[in-house]
């Protein structure tokens, strides 16, 4: 029975390694998603600055086009002004020309202001791009390191799975089935009983059950946590325990 237990102990060691690696790896996809969100946020910040530049450029082009149209209009009106014979029509046209010129002057001032805003916005884009590039470089390094850890972990798990297959072949089939059923619910699936106390749930087992485990060096199920249990002494080497024999 000791050999059967030792085989299962070795199998459980591998399973615990695999479980520990998978537990550690659980956070990595979330970390990767967080890094990707940060990278997207930085890119969005740059795009927002670029959109602001594009908006100012569009405003400036619209004003320039309006000014050009108003100048053409004023030029035509000035030509018509010399042709007017009626004082009333002359005054009305002169008033329109004056209004158009004032509107052009106002738009020119707006263009100057937009030009300043545009220069500031372009400088802001350059600064934001440099800042984001630094952030993206740092985040890219973190992503690469994380991918490397994930790849390494997958490789180790693959090796451990092979090792598990080899270890499982050495375990008694009946004991293995019971163990596999339990390990899907809780790990470790097999634990020792020390001084009448289950090391899995830390609850005392019935004294008669404990005495039987010690006497037979066999296995049973903990009444509290339903793990496979064995007496601590069951794993001891009989020759080491009785050197004289």
Query: Kind and range of the H or E element at 106?
Result: helix 87-169
Of 235, 229, 236, 225, the residue nearest 196 (C-alpha): 229
Query: Kind and range of the H or E element at 228?
Result: strand 228-231
Tens digits of pLDDT across the chain (245 residues): 788 889 999 999 999 999 999 888 888 888 888 888 888 888 898 899 899 999 999 999 998 898 888 888 888 888 787 777 778 888 888 888 888 888 888 889 999 999 999 999 899 889 888 888 888 888 888 889 988 988 999 999 999 999 999 999 999 999 999 999 999 999 999 999 999 999 999 999 999 999 999 999 999 999 999 999 999 988 887 665 555 44
Quote the CA–CA distance of 235 and 239 in Å, as a whole number: 12
Q: List, in sequence order, every residue forming a beta bridge with 194; answer none if it has no partner.
A: 197
Quote the CA–CA distance of 45 and 75 in Å, as a whole number: 45
The whole-number pLDDT of residue 131 equals 87
Complete DSSP assignment for 151-215 = HHHHHHHHHHHHHHHHHHHTS-HHHHHHHHHHHTTSSSSEEEEETTEETTT--BPPHHHHHHHHH
The whole-number pLDDT of residue 55 equals 93
Of 124, 127, 126, 134, the residue nearest 39 (C-alpha): 134
Q: Which domains does the chain have, with CATH numbers?
A: 13-168 (1.10.287.1490), 172-241 (no CATH)
The whole-number pLDDT of residue 17 equals 92
Quote the CA–CA distance of 159 and 62 in Å, as a whole number: 67
Quote the CA–CA distance of 113 and 119 in Å, as a whole number: 10
Backbone angles phi, psi at 86, to 5 degrees: -90, 130
* Sequence-separated (6 or more) residues with CB below 8 Å from residue 18: 157, 160, 161, 164
Strands 228-231 and 190-194: parallel
């Amino acid at each position: 029975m000791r050999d059967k237990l030792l085989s299962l102990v070795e199998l459980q060691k591998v399973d615990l390694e695999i479980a520990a690696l998978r537990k550690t790896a659980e956070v990595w996809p979330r970390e990767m998603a967080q890094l990707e969100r940060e990278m997207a946020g930085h890119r969005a910040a740059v795009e927002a600055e670029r959109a602001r530049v594009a908006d100012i450029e569009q405003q400036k082009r619209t004003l320039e086009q309006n000014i050009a149209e108003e100048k053409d209009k004023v030029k035509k009106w000035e030509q018509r002004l010399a042709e007017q014979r009626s004082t009333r029509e002359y005054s009305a046209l002169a008033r329109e020309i004056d209004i158009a010129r004032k509107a052009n002057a106002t738009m020119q001032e707006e263009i100057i202001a937009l030009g300043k805003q545009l220069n500031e916005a372009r400088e802001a884009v350059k600064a934001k791009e440099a800042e984001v590039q630094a952030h993206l470089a740092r985040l890219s390094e973190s992503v690469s390191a994380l991918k490397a850890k994930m790849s390494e972990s997958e490789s180790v798990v693959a090796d451990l799975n092979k090792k598990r297959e080899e270890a499982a072949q050495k375990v008694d089939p009946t004991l293995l089935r019971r163990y596999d059923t339990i390990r899907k619910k809780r790990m470790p699936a097999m634990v020792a009983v020390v001084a009448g106390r289950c090391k899995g749930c830390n609850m005392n087992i019935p004294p008669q059950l404990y005495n039987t485990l010690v006497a037979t060096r066999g296995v049973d199920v903990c009444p509290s946590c339903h793990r496979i249990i064995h007496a601590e002494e069951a794993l001891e080497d009989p020759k080491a325990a009785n050197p004289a024999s």
